[in-house]
Chain A
């Protein structure tokens, strides 16, 4: 079968984006369910579809689990009244939610989610665009997401969104630095002399056949994780939203579908962030440290590919759970604490970490 590769890419892109969107909507459900479990509640358990919900035991079980809840949640966003307040800057007000969502969905193209080993032993990454500067691209684009928040805060032309937007931008600048510096040891290790230089996320994941990077670079992992929380505006760093202080921060003036876009954008960011953390620190699709799929005998062919995607998605869902778990455990930092943590602790720590690992890796590469 000969299909135009361009069309094929479109199909792949459509599949990946719909999977991400599906993940997002179910992430919302997971968030609601996990929060309710942690708080001793039941959570969404009423919504049911006529046919599937009617199946004797399974239907009831699924309904209790809230499986059908994302559908009305989404429909609600579509059909509610979309208010554009009179005092806003209309152009930017409407553009902001789009700008918040687009970077999150764009970064997905460089995120590999599995690998396929042909019979010839060639390893093909399962990724939309196998760019060599993957990690740089990812950092560059995902940082743009904050423009959505800042624009929303600014164009809303009212004080709480404005404060939220300002906080978001300040927080972004503070944590982006530490985040970037914290992954450098990994890049130094992956690009050791004698190896092919790469910033490709796929190669970074493949480099974790033995140790996962989280195991021998725990400080990097922790700094990156903390910064990831800050970048995705998740509690305990949801300065931009902080609903107890700023009503609901940057999206105070938003309603209906525009708010829905922000909402999906936040979760898409989380999904991508979880993917990246999995790729960088949790060994990608390697089932266990020192155990690759090849070693287990599932290396080649479709089965190996499906398993690798499954393991990757499993780890990613674990990370998503961790995101939510943290959210319902920790209270929000005060704004000055956020700044202090970012500038006075994480940044020096990440630089020290970089220096130590640089010397260590230099020693490993030259003396051993």
Chain B
């Protein structure tokens, strides 16, 4: 059902235009003295809201271990196929030898990435995070493919309460708690 809204006929003063123009002018004149609502971008940055989906990054846990176990779920879920993972073994002598795998190489092509955040959603290890960086630029295509090193540099360390692999190791050493 359509609703017909009757437009009120203009009264005499409104038909004269001039008082209404004066009203408009006073509004804009007041606006002149107000503080600008814009940010001067490169110097002033917007506050990034929580849960913002910026550039995807890889994170380490507070112990400095890389969390990614190269399960490749993100690679499979990625709609634009921006992620390319080369899985690798964890070397025998490593402290984290009990972790099954780790990425040998991890590449995210930022020219393809659509910032959908599915990789973050799908990651069982919470290793890939879309963080706050929102502006990204480069001079060549190669430059815009983030490799593993770059991803960890961007990602840094996020607080982690689970320490899943640490607990697994402890369980293996001291007997299972289950």
Contact = CB atoms under 8 A, between A and B. Distances in A.
Interface of A: 34, 36-42, 45, 222, 325-326, 328-330
A279 B31 CA distance: 30
B47 interface: no
Interface in B10-27: 18, 21, 24-25, 27
Interface string B41-70: 000000000000000000000000000000
A329 B38 contact: no
A126 to B, nearest CB: 32
Contacts of A36: 36
29 contacts: A34-B32, A36-B36, A37-B31, A37-B32, A37-B36, A38-B28, A38-B31, A38-B32, A39-B31, A40-B31, A40-B34, A40-B36, A40-B37, A40-B38, A41-B36, A41-B38, A42-B36, A42-B40, A222-B18, A325-B25, A325-B28, A325-B29, A326-B21, A326-B25, A328-B28, A329-B24, A329-B27, A329-B28, A330-B24
A234 to B, nearest CB: 14
Nearest to B31: A38
Given A37-B31, A38-B28, A38-B31, A329 B36 contact: no
Interface residues of B, number: 15
A264 B37 CA distance: 30
A334 B135 CA distance: 41
Contacts of A222: 18
Q: Chain B contact residues: over half helix, strand or loop, or mixed?
A: helix
Contacts of B27: 329
Interface in B141-163: none
Nearest to B37: A40
Contacts of B38: 40-42
A229 to B, nearest CB: 11
Contacts of B36: 36-37, 40-42
Contacts of B40: 42, 45
Contacts of B31: 37-40
Contacts of A325: 25, 28-29
A228 to B, nearest CB: 15
B74 to A, nearest CB: 41
A37 B28 CA distance: 9
Nearest to B40: A42
A218 to B, nearest CB: 10
Contacts of B25: 325-326, 329
A328 B30 CA distance: 13
Nearest to B25: A329
Given A38-B31, A42-B40, A329-B21, 9 more contacts: A34-B32, A37-B32, A39-B31, A40-B38, A41-B36, A326-B25, A329-B25, A329-B28, A330-B24
A82 B29 CA distance: 38
Contact of A330 (B21, B29, B32, B35): B21
A330 B27 CA distance: 11
Of B21, B28, B31, B40, the most chain A CB neighbours within 10 A belong to B28
Contacts of B21: 326, 329-330
